Amino acid sequence: MRLRFGLLVACAVLLPVSISAQGLMENEPAVRESSDTNVIKAPLGVASTKTPLFAVAGYRPGTASGILADADPLPMPPPGRMPPQGAGGYVFPSAGKMFKGWAWGVLGPKAWGGAVLGATWGTWVTFEPPEWHKDGTGWSKRFGTSLADNAANTTALYGISAITRQDPMYYRCPCSGFWPRIGHIIKMNFVARNRSGNAVFSPAKIVSPFVGPMITRGTLYPERYTWKDGLSSGAWGFLTNAGWNFVREFIWKAPPW
């Protein structure tokens, strides 16, 4: 009964966020390539001009001075919907790419590996909750709740990021050296990229680690647990994210900043 109730609560909390995020992504105005070479049509409702893209010769956003002498012409983007491009060639992820990032977070190796480690640790190390015994049944319950925690956290991360127009994905440090990269790992626990590609404070990365534990502790765990018990678990989840960032920085080789 508590399992069914927990699933209903999770859907009630996370489904509106996902729908809002999808609507915000799909309602972005599309910018399409004109039939004229090197000419861009403005979105609907904006006065269209026949000004060539980068009309100022040699202008390239993101450079120190903005002007490059004898710069080669920049290649035109492919026809169709084009995500906003920021400084340094950064392209804000499309709705499809954001969906793939969400699916990878829910169904990828982080989800399954984290659930295995969490269930094993909770069964034979911390023995939490004690109502779930040290056997296969207790391990499977902890494994299932770990998967539910991760699914809720990931949905909250991508849903809130879409609402705030931010890119929550991890990007490797452009720096070199061990300690500068460690500093980047820690920073990426708090920041995301905006539509221009700049680092900004990310509410989604602060809130999302607490969403799953607060739902499962108040619904799937034994009766004596409440959503308040999820706060401490969320804090551990926040630290776990830093460990996963370490893997993506040094081992998994996430895309560079």
| pLDDT tens sequence across 191-245 | 999 999 999 999 999 999 999 999 999 999 999 999 999 998 899 889 989 999 9
Residue-wise DSSP of 125-143: TS--STTS-SSHHHHHHHH
Read off the pLDDT of residues 39-69 as tens digits, 9 standing for 90 and up.
444 444 444 444 443 333 333 444 444 433 3
Q: How confident is the model at residue 26 (pLDDT cuts 50, 70, 90)?
A: very low
pLDDT in tens, 177-187: 999 999 999 99
| pLDDT at residue 37 greater than cutoff 50 | no
Q: Which residues contact 2 (CB under 8 A, 6 or more apart)?
A: 219, 220, 223
Q: Please give the pLDDT value at position 232.
A: 87
Residue 184 to residue 194: CA distance in whole angstroms: 17
pLDDT at site 180: 97
Amino acid occupying residue 149: D
How many C-beta atoms lie closer than 10 Å to residue 165's C-beta? Answer: 15
pLDDT for residue 71 is more than 50: no
